[in-house]
């Protein structure tokens, strides 16, 4: 995905999905899963579609889209008519399914590129967690985990 990133933040995750050949559709609810926040589906023709629930806050919709794109890019849906219906627990650092954990890691790397974090901290002197999260349009919780994983926080 790095080759499709134009080096601006916040990262345009919808454009990345489009570049990967995946449709992104906002919906009122996820069919077949009342508690789901998003899903990734591959139809019988092999076309991928990401759906996210419109009522979710912007930062969550962005993470959902990046997470579901992760399922696509990481090859989790290698067969036709595969569906990932992700409820809020799948977006947690405590997700037990390895595919969900991989999709979360993918989303974190896409939405909070290490290069951008390093720039804001080292070049711009921005060390406030809330400000970093705002610049990248992610939640403070997501930013905190990313900074820990990159070794900026202990």
CA 134 remoteness from chain centre? 16
* 154 occurs within a structural domain: no
* Radius of gyration of the chain from its Cα atoms, rounded to whole angstroms: 15
* 122 occurs within a structural domain: yes
For the stretch 14-43, pLDDT in tens is 999 999 999 999 999 887 767 788 889 888
* DSSP sequence for 103-121: HHHHHHHHHS-HHHHHIII
Q: What residues make up the domain containing 76?
A: 2-149
pLDDT at 82: 53
State the Cα–Cα distance between residues 25 and 38, nearest whole angstrom. 10
For the stretch 39-89, pLDDT in tens is 898 887 888 999 999 999 999 999 999 999 999 999 887 655 556 665 555
* 102 occurs within a structural domain: yes
* 60 occurs within a structural domain: yes
* 51 occurs within a structural domain: yes
Q: How many CB atoms lie within 10 A of CB 94?
A: 8
State the Cα–Cα distance between residues 3 and 123, nearest whole angstrom. 23
Residue 90: DSSP 8-state: G
State the Cα–Cα distance between residues 8 and 91, nearest whole angstrom. 24
* Position 94 pLDDT exceeds 70: no
* 72 occurs within a structural domain: yes
Record the pTM: 0.86
Nearest alpha carbon to residue 91 among 83, 99, 81: 99
Number of domains in the chain: 1
């Amino acid at each position: 995905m790095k080759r499709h990133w134009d080096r601006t933040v916040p990262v345009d995750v919808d454009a990345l999905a489009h570049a990967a050949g995946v449709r992104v559709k906002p919906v009122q609810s996820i069919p077949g899963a009342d508690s789901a926040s998003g899903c990734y589906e591959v139809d019988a023709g092999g076309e991928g579609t990401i759906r996210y629930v419109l009522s979710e806050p912007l930062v969550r919709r962005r993470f959902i889209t990046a997470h579901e794109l992760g399922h696509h890019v990481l090859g989790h849906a290698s067969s036709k008519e595969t569906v990932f219906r992700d409820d809020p627990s799948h977006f947690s650092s405590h997700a037990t399914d390895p595919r969900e954990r991989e999709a979360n890691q993918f989303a974190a790397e896409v939405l909070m590129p290490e290069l951008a974090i390093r720039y804001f901290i080292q070049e711009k002197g921005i060390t406030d967690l809330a400000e970093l999260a705002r610049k990248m349009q992610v939640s403070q919780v997501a930013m905190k985990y990313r900074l820990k994983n990159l070794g900026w926080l202990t």
